[in-house]
Structure 1
Amino acid sequence: MTRSFGLPQFVALLVLAAIIWAGFGIGVNTIRIGVIAPFTGPTSIYGISMRNGIRLAADAVNAGGGIAGQRLELVFADDANDKITAAEAARNLIYRENVKLVIGTVSSDATMNVQRVCEKARIPMLTSVSTNPFITRVGFRYSFRCLTDDTVQASELASFAVRTLQLRRVAILHDSNKYGSMGARVYAARAAELGQSIVENVAFDGGTVNFTKHLESIRPLNPDGLLIWGLAQESGLIVRQARELGMRMPVLGGDGMAPAAFLDLAGPAAEGAVVTMPFNPAKGGQTAKAFMERFRGTFGSDPDSFAAHGFDAIHLAASALRSSAERGIPLRDALAAIASYDGVTGKGGFDASGNETRPVELARIQGGRFVPVTGQ
């Protein structure tokens, strides 16, 4: 089954949505969707971006008549990037707020806690940010993801590093959390298959600001390239400090380096870095163009991958709700039936395990912009 969000009336709906802002309060003629993400703390840049995309999409759905006349009502919960808080938020949304579906969250640790709560309650969970492969590969029937996971991202990056950049000796510096550890592990495994040597593999804790010790352990090894698998704040500091230490090798990274915050922190040191690019506006055609224009007009900035995937997540939820708005198994089955869709992030779909089927693209940072180098 193929669903399309690129309808002719899409632009008109967004214009109307600028007038009709979602969230008029609780009513019987609404369908409630829970959204869990960090809206405070260091990782809030991801949660806020995701929330903005979600709000814009809900506005468009409601401006178009909602779901059989029922408006989407968003219920937000701040998990502050804490996995225990995330699980508590999921329970509150399901058992007190009576949401029919949960979207979230950002960190894989928190998302895995949320999915356990949702699985037990038979409430679908759709993540538009978390990339740990196990989220959709451990047998949970109510878990779905609408972006490419770390297996796809890290494997593609390793292939590009070997076949295109011809890097033979790479050092890895990664966050010690599930996101960083998984990305580093997948990259190293694929690199070994392709004959690339990993000369060093160093973990750092989230929140670290001085990476001199980590980088000094790598510098004497003189690697051809440096893979960083972490979030924007730490990754930006690593790149800047590496250049200050005279380390000039090519830099590689995952989608944690996709936000503008990475470019802001790294500055000119980011130039030339190659990163995974889950959102290429060119792939979404006119639908993506309309989304970007409305996003800029509403929030005063360009949307990133997290906003775009949040936007698509709401439209996926709305598509499933149009097939069945019944809570539990029927809604889960309606979501699972979406084998393909056209979103602002391009053509995607769910496989049998609820995982995104879309391939990932890569981009090189040039002139402070992400310029696609694959999938064009």
Structure 2
Amino acid sequence: MCRVTIITGLVLVTMFIWEMGLAAASDSAPTVGADNRALPNQEDLPFPVDDYTLSILERINRAGAYQVPQLPLRVDPVYADTPKELDPFGRLTQPFKRYFLVQMEYTGPGRGIPEPEHVDTVKIGFLGPIEPTVSVATGGKSHEENLGQMMLRGCQLAIEEANAAGGYWRRKIPFELVVRNDNGLWGSSGDEIIRLAYIENVWAIIGTIDGANSHIAIRVALKAEVPVVNTGDTDPTFIETNIPWVLRVIADDRRQCYILADYIYKKLGLSRVGIIRASNRYGRFGVREFRDASRRLERPVPIEMAYFVGQQDFSMELQRLADAQVEAVVHWGDAEDGARILNQMREMGMKQPFFACDRCLLDDFVKIAGKNAEGVVCASPWNPARDDSRLEEFRQKFKARFGCEPETYAAHAYDGTQMLIWAIQLAGLNRAKIRDVLATRRDPWHGVTGEIMLTAVLDRASDAYLAIRENNQWKFYSREDLGLPKEVPARPVQVSQN
């Protein structure tokens, strides 16, 4: 309680200081500084910009601190591309109101804050699990550092490339990545957001991975009014906070569950599928949509077992799955745990097909599982095996810089950081305008992870894939490849004037 009170007090004090500074800036300078009010010339930018984006910038600049610009709002026909048969109200009645279909506005005065007169670097914050810790909140020793370190490398490569191309074009100064560890302690991510926003004065933040910490971080970011680009948290509820300062560029567990459910029940015709998951937020929220989808497809999950992260013996959990006579097993947890579960299943004579989340696509899973990995099916938020020149160029650069192959978290962090740098280059050094440029982007972002289009809640609107281990390698399949139905109309999403 004391810690929460201190954090809340610090947020309120810093917010008061920030708002007083805004009021002073508005009183002393009725118009915004020339640096971020003037529209960029297309020929000056290190990348092309379309007339639509320039018209958005013109509206934003014209509004200043005292008006809300008339920006287009995204309108989605269906939330998260949910298939009709998996709609929780589809077979009973229509709800009085559906949420998350119309984009949330930002109506505050932040657009009127001028660029600072003196800036040595353009700071971008990074918050992720990069150093090991021990925390009661995470159930003991932390376990996501390998993911956070890869995410950090993806950010670093994007920053280095931007600086090699000339840095921030308006001032000819470099971008700087300010790195903070997300240590898993309850509330610490909020502390780090405060430090990044008010002490380091970053213009936006990349992060993080852990679902619980991400939820805390973005609520503080809402108060601080600083953009957050999430590149690694696949918790479906993360984006359902509907905070206009937050966007995500990775397909979430909801979409991964949808394609798994369709493949297991419609393609393979199975009916009794058991779940074994980590007893943390990632495991609990990760399988929720699969469990709900199973029930709505009239194949309810007969048993769900939870285990502690890092557990070595799963005989009790697996025996109960076997006693329930499940036809297949779905695992949601880290790669190492998943591989040990699979090995013990086979040792016990359990021959059921093994399905898993995207974390089991990491190299550690195959190293531990060995030959047992053959035939395993994992959901994946992207297709890293596709033929794409941008992806291949990224792979070569990443391997030359860090001496290893990039994976999911590195690739998405690279895309998210590049998108953020693009927005800063266009909008200037103003957090609200950076948010506006990201939130109103109309065309897909052509990233190394594929086409990135945002939904009304600024989540990534793209299908997940399935990866099947065949002949000692992962082969990736889309819905179309698997012959699975796709009822929802393709993007782009509609936009509507407010």
TM-score, scaled to structure 2: 0.68
d(CA) in 1 for partners of 2:361 and 2:190?
27
Q: Which amino acid aligns with 2:306?
A: A
Counterpart among 133, 158, 171 of residue 57 in structure 1:
158
In structure 1, the residue corresponding to 2:301 is in which secondary structure? strand
Identity of aligned residues (%): 28
d(CA) in 2 for partners of 1:209 and 1:294?
38
Deviates more, 1:79-88 or 1:123-132: 79-88
CA separation of 1:83/1:361 partners in 2, compared to 1, >3 Å: closer, same or farther?
A: farther
Counterpart among 295, 317, 322 of residue 219 in structure 1:
322
Is residue 114 from structure 1 mapped to residue 217 from structure 2 by the alignment?
yes
1:83 is displaced (CA, Å) by 4.1
Match of 1:99 in 2: 202
Instruction: Give unpaired runs (5+ residues) of structure 1.
Output: 1-6, 9-26
Q: Which amino acid aligns with 1:249?
A: Q
Match of 1:363 in 2: 467
d(CA) in 2 for partners of 1:284 and 1:79?
35
Counterpart among 298, 303, 311 of residue 208 in structure 1:
311
Q: Higher strand share goes to which structure?
A: 1
In structure 2, the residue corresponding to 1:266 is in which secondary structure? helix
d(CA) in 1 for partners of 2:125 and 2:307?
32
Is residue 45 from structure 1 mapped to residue 158 from structure 2 by the alignment?
no
Q: Which amino acid aligns with 2:449?
A: T
Checking the alignment, whether the CA contact within 8 Å between 2:125 and 2:206 is kept in structure 1 is yes
Match of 1:295 in 2: 398
Is residue 240 from structure 1 mapped to residue 343 from structure 2 by the alignment?
yes
**1:155-170 → structure 2 map (5 Å cutoff):** 155-170=258-273
Checking the alignment, whether the CA contact within 8 Å between 2:249 and 2:416 is kept in structure 1 is yes
**1:1-376 → structure 2 map (5 Å cutoff):** 28-41=119-132, 42-68=143-169, 69-283=172-386, 285-339=388-442, 340-374=444-478
1:316 is displaced (CA, Å) by 0.9
TM-score, scaled to structure 1: 0.89
1:258 is displaced (CA, Å) by 2.4
CA separation of 1:153/1:80 partners in 2, compared to 1, >3 Å: closer, same or farther?
A: same
CA separation of 1:369/1:86 partners in 2, compared to 1, >3 Å: closer, same or farther?
A: farther
CA separation of 1:321/1:200 partners in 2, compared to 1, >3 Å: closer, same or farther?
A: same
Post-superposition Cα deviations, 1:281-336, rounded to whole Å, max 9, x if no partner, equal: 34471000000111122222221111100110111101111221333321111111
CA separation of 1:71/1:368 partners in 2, compared to 1, >3 Å: closer, same or farther?
A: farther
Q: Which amino acid aligns with 1:362?
A: L
Instruction: Give unpaired runs (5+ residues) of structure 2.
Output: 1-46, 49-117, 133-142, 482-498
Checking the alignment, whether the CA contact within 8 Å between 1:104 and 1:111 is kept in structure 2 is yes
1:118 is displaced (CA, Å) by 0.7
In structure 2, the residue corresponding to 1:292 is in which secondary structure? helix
Instruction: Look at both structures and tell me which one has the larger radius of gyration over its CA atoms.
Output: 2
1:220 is displaced (CA, Å) by 1.8
Post-superposition Cα deviations, 1:146-182, rounded to whole Å, max 9, x if no partner, equal: 0111211111111111122222110001122222111
CA separation of 1:182/1:278 partners in 2, compared to 1, >3 Å: closer, same or farther?
A: same
Match of 2:39 in 1: none
d(CA) in 2 for partners of 1:61 and 1:295?
15
Aligned residues: 352
d(CA) in 1 for partners of 2:302 and 2:237?
27
RMSD of aligned residue pairs (Cα, Å): 1.9
Checking the alignment, whether the CA contact within 8 Å between 1:292 and 1:303 is kept in structure 2 is yes
Checking the alignment, whether the CA contact within 8 Å between 1:281 and 1:289 is kept in structure 2 is no
d(CA) in 2 for partners of 1:322 and 1:290?
23
d(CA) in 2 for partners of 1:104 and 1:224?
38
In structure 2, the residue corresponding to 1:134 is in which secondary structure? coil
In structure 2, the residue corresponding to 1:311 is in which secondary structure? helix
1:242 is displaced (CA, Å) by 1.5
